[in-house]
Amino acid sequence: MCGIVAYIGYRQAYPIVIKGLQRLEYRGYDSAGVALLNGELSVYKKAGKVADFTNYVSDKNLVGQVGMGHTRWATHGEPNDRNAHPHYSESKDLAIIHNGIIENYAAIKQELINSGHTFKSDTDTEVLIHLIEEIKHKTHVATEEAVRLALGEVIGAYAIVVLSKSEPNKMIAARKGSPIVVGIGKDEWFIASDATPIVEYTKNVAYLNDGEVATIDNGKLTVKTIDNETKIPFVQELELKLEAIEKGGYDHFMMKEIYEQPRSIWDSMRGRIDADKGRLRLGGISEFENKLINAKE
């Protein structure tokens, strides 16, 4: 299950993105990668663990206040460096990260090859970013509009984030079937597969619905459907606490969960057991009391 993290704001993006990818390691993956906007659209990716990736980029230019990262679980194409995300478009003006499967990618890929596109990977994801760029060049629209039009042509499931070198103050995300959450800070924005990479920075989030495209452009969030209907995002407050997603000094999350079992059982019983009076109250069962008493064997 792939992991997505992205940031646009006033801080350096790489430390936020890489910490977010580490928090998404529980999903399982076979490669990791990051794209950063820093005058260039720099893409770095590597098969293996996030730790292998951080070693790989230790001598790279990691400066930039806009960036996105991805952990991949291979579907189309074997787990190696070239199939890892992010993927460039033909001109390398655009880059994409993607969770999901584009079912009709083979037919689209053949059409794009016939139009002169060259592919560097075996993935369905690279086909999608090439399609977005093809539409952008043919229709002369902004990147977010090209994304919306391209998604109208694909069949499958996706959660995507797209960056553009020529539009460096912009970040586009979309979902269908795979979750995407947008974190809303003060003059900064976060995008992720789930809330775990975001909760450290902001409690205010908006979850995209299926078929929605979100654009963050110069500090403003706009949400449209694939059918070009403008939506008002519903912003809610996260109840998730940071300590709940940290390892808490344990080497592995599984070890943490094992040792937390007594506390978890205790928490689940709070307010339901009165030890002094010897009473047990399960509110969800009370309305079925008579049915349970009269139940036949």
Model confidence at 257: pLDDT above 80: no
| Residue-level pLDDT at 153 | 95
Q: What is the pLDDT of residues 198-242, one digit of tens each?
A: 988 999 999 999 999 999 998 899 999 999 999 998 998 877 665
Residues 64/13, Cβ–Cβ less than 8 Å: yes
d(CA 147, CA 145): 5
240 Cβ neighbours under 8 A, 6+ residues apart: 195, 196, 199
What is the pairing mode between strands 212-217 and 170-176? antiparallel
The model's confidence at residue 253, banded by pLDDT at 50, 70 and 90, is: low
Euclidean distance between the first and final Cα of the chain, in Å? 43
The pTM assigned to this predicted structure is 0.80
CB 253 within 8 A of CB 246: no
User: Residue 195 has what pLDDT?
Assistant: 87
C-alpha angle 171-124-102 in degrees, rounded to nearest 5: 85
Does 147 have pLDDT greater than 80? yes
Summarised one tens digit per residue, pLDDT across range 173-202 is 999 988 899 999 999 999 999 888 898 899
Q: What is the pLDDT of residue 279?
A: 74
Report residue 297's pLDDT band, with 50, 70 and 90 as the boundaries: low
Query: Residue 12 — left, alpha, or beta (φ > 0 → left; ψ -120 to 50 → alpha)?
Result: beta
Q: In one letter, which amino acid is 273? A: I
Q: How many CB atoms lie within 10 A of CB 61?
A: 13
Tokens of 149: 């039009």
Task: Write the CA distances from 245 to 55, 113, 121, 235, integer angstroms.
Answer: 24, 44, 34, 22
What's the whole-number average pLDDT of the chain? 88
Structure-block tokens of residue 151:
């998604």
CA distances from 172 to 52, 67, 141, 206, 245 (A): 28, 12, 14, 14, 27
Mapped onto helix, strand or coil, the DSSP state of residue 153 is: coil
* Contacts of residue 28, Cβ cutoff 8 Å, sequence gap at least 6: 1, 73
Q: What whole-number distance in Å separates Cα of residue 146 and Cα of residue 126?
A: 15
